[in-house]
Structure 1
Amino acid sequence: MIQAETTVAREIDLAAQAADGVLLAGTLTLPTGPGPHPAVLCLPGSGKLDRDSNAGKLRMDLGRPLAATLARHGIASLRYDRRGVGATPGDWHTVGFLDNRADAAAALQALRGHPEVRGRAVGVLGHSEGAVHAMWLAAHTHPAAAVLLAGYARSGEAAVQWQLGRLAETMPRPLSRVLRRVASKQLARVSATTTDAARMGGIRVNAKWWREQLAYDPRADLSRIQAPVFAITGRKDVQVDPADLDVIANLVPGARIRRVPDLTHLLRRTDGPGTVFGYRKLLRRSVEDDLLTGIAQWLAPRLS
């Protein structure tokens, strides 16, 4: 076990054991001072992401600043590498959407059972795909609170179709038509697969993940949530419809929703349209500090 000291937090290597015995390698960040502490499980978006929401050179760098902000407000946090990423073993291409959910539930159990964590004061926080898993966890595992960052509230297939529509709007009409036609064929092909991984256009894709994600609709689980919920989506998000916040508000009594002006799916603000073509430039900047601070300030009294 490795421990690192900073002025506001301690970091401890923590491996959560999944249902099949795989150890999900992660980092438990603890506030300074005596515990046990309230805590939050942090879940990343989709893709081959490590504990800091990074995938190779595509670096979102959400995990560490989020953990540091939570620690400054007296809240511990756990983040971990997905299967087949970083220090967690496995083949990422064969991991399904429901496998990610099951691993999240195992990580939540490990966090609740840690001696430096108050087991009854543990919340869940997810971004994008992670927010959808946080919805399920909030409905079925009764956390103390849930934060949903850019989480959709419709079927996975409808969410993907909305994304494609927004992308098509940024292209000339002939290219837009080609994109829609090709994307529809690819979605139909991946839905018809039966293997965990498949070759699509010569590229190995995690077909199981796609089938399960397209089929899942979080609305039934949202209606079961009893915990306090804070749902945030940027007005310039082109991957999740900001209007889904209204669905969340209607399904979760007392849920707080916030549409952040100029905020993109990457949790960075922009003066531009927020399209995916500007992502590389946006990622040169840090996640918005005021957003993270607002989340920590909302969580602190609900985990006390």
Structure 2
Amino acid sequence: MKKWYLLSLLCILLCTASAQQNDQIATHFFEQLGKGNWDGAKENMDATMTAKVTPDMLKGIWQQIEQSHGKWETVISLKTAKEGAYDMILADNRFGKAIITFRVVFDTNHRIAGFFIAGTKLLTTALLPYEETDTVITPDGGILYGILTKPVEKQPWPVALIIAGSGPTDHNGNNPLSAAANGNSYQQLAAALAANGIASLRYDKRGIGQSTGFKKSSSATSLDDFTDDAIAWIDHLQKNTQQFKSVAVIGHSEGALIGLMCAGRRSFNSLISLSGPGECMDKVLLTQLRPMLADSLYDRATVILNELRQGNNPQQVPAVLSTLFNPSLYTFWKSTFHYDPCTLLPAVKMPFLIIGGTSDTQVPPVQADILHHCKPGSQLLMIKGMTHALKDTAPVPAGNKTPLPLSSQLVPSLAAFIKH
């Protein structure tokens, strides 16, 4: 018994020491990023990360985060996690405008094998005079935080539910990994719709911003959960007949796929796909990765996607791809790749508008053509020069921190479709 106790105590001490070492490395990593010491931030990376991640890449990523969420201030807390064979640290970092949670992945030698954003919580929400907050409770007990934007006209109004795209994108359309010039797309869209007599509701997805309290962990969350969340908002809006006379659903990018799924489970007045996929997301993802990866890594990504599509966990993930194909995302990816937009379209009985941009490099224009071909009777609008962020293609001055305006053709077409 005594020997067993000593062995158990030794194991606890070793595990604690290992966790403390990872804590120290993670803290040092963020402190160096906060100081702008990009070489110092690379000190504890593994060989693959060291080879692939340059100081300029770290600088670009960090500056984009600070442009969106203010200057880095400090590491608030560190929490040890383990998913599969990976040791991780969940690191909450305080910035001027938000608390951002990062996942830092470690190999067995306590070297950083990857890091990515796991969640963002805004510290303050600035409401415009015609905006007010709203919330709904999800089937798994979470609270979704939303912003209702109201026209000046007398109610009831048409109302549009805006469903955000992929990644840590908040209710305003801001993503810490996107340039500031691409920001505020959803807030701009809401304001423009209100000017055309249409109310809108945009919201923070689960795990993002001020939406909290979900029983499911992020690693167990699927595309179906995000669909349940959107349906909770649809039901909420449709019950409020005093304020709203019709409900439209506007899905952007991945949100467009969620909108299609909602149309199979609820009846509402109209559906709009903004830069939405026409093929399964794994095919779209491969299209996005092709110009970014060397042939060997692209081939590896193809194998990983095939494994996920078949419902299996990948057997081997290179460190450089560990952010995209992290064990915490496996459930989500498997559920996403399960749905083909064209097979969902027969359930779409309401008027359906498909909008794409000729300058969209994330979801190329051909995806809109595929959707339109799969749904006879749908309307297709291809906006010349519009990007994935719904902005017009335009040169951005160096150091610009002001969001570009929406594409000029977008809102008139949207408003006319929703109203008529």
Which TM-score tier does this pair reach, normalised by the shorter chain?
0.7 to 0.9
Aligned to 2:417: 299
Aligned to 1:64: 187
Deviations 1:28-51 (A, max 9, x none): 111123212110000010112211
How far, CA to CA, are the matches of 1:69 and 1:146 in structure 2?
A: 18
Q: Which amino acid aligns with 2:142?
A: V
Equivalent of 1:95 in 221, 234, 259 = 221
Structure 1 residue 289, shift from structure 2 partner: 4.2
Q: Which runs of no fewer than 5 residues in structure 2 stay unpaired?
A: 1-124
Look up the SS of the partner of 1:208 in the other structure.
helix
* TM-score for both structures, normalised by structure 2: 0.60
Q: Which amino acid aligns with 2:298?
A: R
Look up the SS of the partner of 2:334 in the other structure.
helix
Aligned to 2:388: 265
How far, CA to CA, are the matches of 2:136 and 2:282 in structure 1?
A: 31
How far, CA to CA, are the matches of 1:150 and 1:267 in structure 2?
A: 8
How many residues of Structure 1 are paired with residues of Structure 2 in the alignment? 280
Structure 1 residue 285, shift from structure 2 partner: 4.0
Look up the SS of the partner of 2:368 in the other structure.
helix
Aligned to 1:172: none
Equivalent of 2:322 in 192, 198, 201 = 201
Structure 1 residue 124, shift from structure 2 partner: 0.3
Aligned to 1:149: 274
Aligned to 2:363: 240
Note if contact 2:248-2:418 (Cα within 8 Å) is conserved in structure 1: no
Matches within 5 A, 1:242-257: 242-257=365-380
User: Does residue 84 of the first structure (1) align with residue 210 of the second (2)?
Assistant: no
Q: CA, structure 1 residues 269+176, in 2 after alignment: closer, same or farther (shift >3 Å)? A: farther
Aligned to 2:244: 118
Deviations 1:58-102 (A, max 9, x none): 353112111101101111111111111111114545422111111
Q: CA, structure 1 residues 113+3, in 2 after alignment: closer, same or farther (shift >3 Å)? A: farther
Q: CA, structure 1 residues 295+52, in 2 after alignment: closer, same or farther (shift >3 Å)? A: farther
Equivalent of 1:164 in 269, 289, 296 = 289
Q: Which amino acid aligns with 1:135?
A: L
Aligned to 1:49: 169
Q: CA, structure 1 residues 12+271, in 2 after alignment: closer, same or farther (shift >3 Å)? A: closer
Note if contact 1:17-1:107 (Cα within 8 Å) is conserved in structure 2: no
Deviations 1:247-286 (A, max 9, x none): 32233232111222222222223379xxxxx9x9998542
Structure 1 residue 186, shift from structure 2 partner: 3.6
How far, CA to CA, are the matches of 1:261 and 1:250 in structure 2?
A: 20
How far, CA to CA, are the matches of 2:399 and 2:224 in structure 1?
A: 32
Instruction: Report which structure shows greater RCO (CA 8 Å, sep ≥6).
Output: 1
* TM-score for both structures, normalised by structure 1: 0.81
Moved more, 230-239 or 181-190: 181-190
Q: Which runs of no fewer than 5 residues in structure 1 stay unpaired?
A: 169-174, 273-277
Structure 1 residue 158, shift from structure 2 partner: 2.0
Larger radius of gyration: 2
How far, CA to CA, are the matches of 1:67 and 1:31 in structure 2?
A: 10
Q: CA, structure 1 residues 21+289, in 2 after alignment: closer, same or farther (shift >3 Å)? A: same
Aligned to 1:180: 298
Note if contact 2:279-2:367 (Cα within 8 Å) is conserved in structure 1: yes
Q: Which amino acid aligns with 2:356?
A: T
How far, CA to CA, are the matches of 1:88 and 1:22 in structure 2?
A: 7
User: Does residue 216 of the first structure (1) align with residue 339 of the second (2)?
Assistant: yes
RMSD: 3.0
Q: Which amino acid aligns with 1:136?
A: M
How far, CA to CA, are the matches of 2:352 and 2:399 in structure 1?
A: 31
